[in-house]
Structure 1
Amino acid sequence: MKSIINDIHWPAIIKLVNSDELLLLESPRDWLEIACLYQHSFQEGDCLADSDGQQYRISAPEAQQDSPVAHLPNLSPQSFPLTPLELLPWVRAHALAAGQCCIAKLGFTTVAQGIELVRSLDS
Structure 2
Amino acid sequence: MTSVKMSSIEWPAIVKLTQSDELLYLEHQRDWLELACLYQHHFIDTDQLLDSKGQRYLISACPQKIHEDPVGELPQLLRQKQDLPLNEFIKWVQNHAQALGQCCVAKLAFTTISQGIEIVRTLDE
Q: TM (normalized to structure 1)?
A: 0.92
- Residue 43 of structure 1: aligned partner: 44
Q: TM (normalized to structure 2)?
A: 0.91
Residue 86 (1) aligns with residue 88 (2): yes
- Residue 122 of structure 1: aligned partner: 124
Q: How far apart are 1:86 and its partner, in Å?
A: 1.0
Q: How far apart are 1:84 and its partner, in Å?
A: 1.4
Count of aligned residue pairs for this structure pair? 121
Q: How far apart are 1:57 and its partner, in Å?
A: 0.5
- Secondary structure of the residue aligned to 1:104 is helix
- Residue 54 of structure 1: aligned partner: 55
Q: 1:101 aligns with which of 76, 98, 103?
A: 103
Q: How far apart are 1:78 and its partner, in Å?
A: 0.3
Amino acid at match of 2:95: A
Separation in structure 2 between the aligned mates of residue 93 and residue 64 of structure 1, nearest angstrom: 34
Where structure 1 has 5 or more consecutive residues not aligned to the other structure, the ranges are none
Runs of 4+ residues deviating >6 angstroms: none
Residue 26 (1) aligns with residue 38 (2): no
